[in-house]
Homo-oligomer: A and B are copies of this chain.
Amino acid sequence: MQQSGDSGSPSFNPLAVLEFMSDTKEEAIAWLLSRIRAPQEAGGAGLLVEQLGPGVSAEQKDNLNLFLVGASWERLLSGAEDVGLFKEYSDGSMRGFTCVNKHNFKDFQGDGDGFLSMAECQYIIKHELETLRAKDETHVPGYSHAKLYPGKSIIRRLLSKGILIQMFPLHHKEELKRLSFSWYKKIKLSLQPLDKIRHYYGEGQALYFGFLEYFTFALVPMALLGVPYYMFDWEDYDKYVAFAVFNVVWCTIILELWKRSSATLAYHWGTLCRKKAFEEPRPGFHGVLGYNPVTDREEPLYPNAKRQLRIYLVSLPFVLLCLYLSLYVMMIYFQMEGWALSVHDQDPSFWTGVLLYIPSIIYAVVIEAMNLVYRYAAEFLTEWENHRLESSYQNHLVLKVLVFNFFNCFASLFYIAFVMQDMVLLSQSLATLLITSQILNQFMEAFLPYWLQRRRNKKMIRKVQKRRTPGDKELPLAEQVRLEADMSTYLGTFDDYLELFLLFGYVSLFSCVYPLAAVLVVLNNVTEVYSDAFKMCHVFKRPFADPAANIGVWQLAFETMSVIAVVTNCALIGMSPQVKAYFPESETQLILWTVAIEHGLLAFKFILTFLIPDVPKHIQIKLARLEFESLEALKKKRQINAGKCWKARSSGRASSEERRTCRL
């Protein structure tokens, strides 16, 4: 944290940036700044704010309403207590940080400088800004339509009214350089620096990269097993079945073991036992004024029945319509495929050979485009459903997007597998889809944004160089902040997880038809690590840390996929000619056996899920120990109180405090 702004006092460390509309009224800004600066006892946030200078390359169109937010160390420490940060205690356990006990925490030295990571400081700043509540103001000064109610978050209101454009944390050039060096700059065979990633980006990001790494390693045995199947064309009955059974069991086990790894990571990062803060309504939530039954505060209420109506009468039909459309596109693809085949058959040449691949590639591109368009529609609809909580919004969005993406990506494969029953075409399509979507994804999510960002960067550097001595490539703070403010916003790990989810689908659903899928996915994941790391560091604005304890709804999504995988794999095995040859006289017997085995595998899967504990033993012991200690402390406190009362009662003399506690 040596980075010191060239604007402001030397002790001021800028941590986050507030960007207002360029024509925001002076009085609104002055009022907000005074509220942010006011000490907590006076109902303020107790933070430091300074306006960003115009910078060397000041232009007419530059927004001058950029403010840097920071805080004193004492304020950050008390903020750490407010957000309920867990830190390592001197005895090695993780405990909720309290200012009273601060000297007993492991890395707390001197006055605590360096105790909190920059990501944690920024998270604290964000929390303190968001919980800055209106007092008796009825509206934002200068904006009579931006109404305020006592106890409501001011920043959320400003954001939803568009007065505040954005709030984002600053990058730290030095740290970022060090992180990116150990992360992806040197090509080497080593694990990702998860602790460093967590230190810089927070737990949510680090868990994503942890999962990506874990998932890649977990696929290696499958990939290794798949190679000889592909190379030697093993198609015997027993090997075939063995591979599918291995895959199905393996999927279950890796998902269970991931829960354990994730619990271990989250424990050491202090998010496993951390209590969720009370969830505020989303910024966009609107409704008729009323009283919240939980908090008794005045806030907009929106009847749940109305939301359910919107979900079931509008969103659900829309999703179904989209699914139908996706099916329709698929049928067109099969017609094109058939047409290309007939052209090739009539007059085979090099160009008709190429033509054979065209429909698949077009279809893969169309799928990606449809996913993208649908994504916007789903966001719009979910916004319109007007969910009160961010978590509920996220769940509904994820559900909508997942169902459609699953359908869109896998419908054609299901059709080929179970309606056309053409295993050769299935493995071809699988390969084409997998490879095309991988290339498209990597291009869309990393190289394209990077190229755009690079152009912007160069322009800015050129501008600065015009005014400064050439060779000084480091940008001054004002320019750096403006550059970051213009970067695209990172929208969370949603798309990254979605991509992994679909890849997992390709591997697990049809693994026994195309054993090379795992190899392709492993290769993809290795490059994915690099492109994701790169995009986090250079393409997007730094995101605020997200204190996640697990991968949330994605664990459920992956588990659902692995259940579907059992069904499809069993069906594929039952349909294979090798297996059919074992039941020459009776197809009924074959199907009954397949169904029985499938049910057995599903039962085994569920039993396995129960048998493997979600949290490793040593973490369980540590958690139990903490709980035991707090119970003991409570008991001791009660006994001391009881002892005091007993003495007071028997001696007949009692202080005023004793009188109060003992109700004498």
Give A contacts to B, CB under 8 Å: 39-41, 78, 81-82, 99-100, 102-103, 277-278, 293-295, 567, 587-588, 591-592, 595, 599, 621, 624-625, 627-628, 631, 635, 638-639, 642-643, 646, 661, 663
Contact of A663 among B81, B82, B102, B631 (CB under 8 A): B102
Chain B residues positioned under 8 Å from A625 (CB to CB):
293-295
Q: Which of B100, B591, B599 contacts A592 (CB 8 A)?
A: B591
The 6 closest A-B pairs by CB, nearest first: A41-B643, A294-B624, A294-B625, A591-B591, A293-B621, A587-B588
Q: Given known contacts A41-B643, A635-B82, A646-B41, is B100 in contact with A661 (CB within 8 Å)?
A: yes
Q: How far is the CA of A509 from the CA of B102 in the complex (A)?
A: 61
Inter-chain contact B277/A40, CB cutoff 8 Å = no
Q: How long is the Cα–Cα vector from A643 to B40 in the complex, in angstroms?
A: 8
Contact A639/B588 with A293-B621, A294-B625 known, Cβ cut-off 8 Å: no
Task: Please tell me if the beta carbons of A278 and B628 are within 8 angstroms of each other in the complex.
Answer: yes
Are A41 and B591 in touch, CB under 8 angstroms? no
B663 near A100 (CB under 8 angstroms)?
A: yes
Supposing A293-B625, A595-B595, A663-B100 touch, asked if A82 and B638 sit within 8 A by C-beta, the answer is yes
Complex CA gap A595/B631 in Å reads 52
Residue among B295, B621, B643, B661 making CB contact with A294, cutoff 8 Å: B621
CB neighbours of A587 from chain B (8 A): 587-588
> B40–A628 contact, CB under 8 A?
no
A567–B103 touching, CB < 8 Å? no
Complex: chain B residue closest to A81, CB-CB: B638
Chain B neighbourhood of A642, CB < 8 A = 40-41, 78
Provide the residues of chain B in CB contact with A592, threshold 8 Å: 591
State how many angstroms separate the Cβ of A382 from the closest Cβ of chain B.
17
B residues less than 8 Å from A631 (CB atoms): 277-278
Contact: A639 with B41, CB < 8 Å? yes
Known: A621-B293, A635-B82. A567 touches B599 (CB 8 A): yes
Bound complex: CA A278 to CA B626 (Å):
11
Give min CB distance, A299 to chain B, whole Å: 13
Query: What residue in chain B is nearest A297 (Cβ atoms)?
Result: B628
- Say how far A220's CB is from chain B's closest CB, in angstroms: 29
Q: How far apart sit A294 and B626, CA to CA, in the bound complex (Å)?
A: 8
State how many angstroms separate the Cβ of A645 from the closest Cβ of chain B. 9
The contact sample of 9 A-B pairs, CB cut-off 8 A, is A39-B646, A40-B639, A81-B638, A82-B638, A103-B663, A294-B621, A295-B625, A587-B588, A588-B588
Chain B's nearest CB lies how many Å from the CB of A580? 12
Q: Give the CA-CA distance A631 to B84 in the complex, in Å.
A: 11
Q: How far is the CA of A120 from the CA of B67 in the complex (A)?
A: 60
A222 CA / B179 CA spacing, docked (Å):
65
Contact in complex: B628, A295 (CB < 8 Å): yes
Contact between B588 and A628, CB atoms less than 8 A apart: no
When the two chains form their complex, are residues A278 and B627 in contact, meaning their CB atoms are under 8 A apart? yes
CB-based nearest B residue for A98? B638
Measured between alpha carbons, how far is A639 from B43 in the docked complex, in Å? 10
Q: Which residues from chain B contact A627 at a C-beta distance below 8 Å?
A: 278
How far apart sit A41 and B643, CA to CA, in the bound complex (Å)?
6
Smallest CB gap from A647: residue in B: B41
* Contact partners of A82 in chain B: CB under 8 A: 635, 638
Give the chain B neighbours of A295 by CB distance below 8 A: 625, 628
How distant is the Cα of A599 from the Cα of B564 in the complex, in angstroms?
10
Using CB atoms, name the residue of chain B closest to A567. Answer: B599
Q: Knowing A41-B643, A100-B661, A663-B99 touch, does A628 contact B294 (C-beta < 8 A)?
A: yes
**Closest beta carbon of chain B to A112's beta carbon, Å:** 11
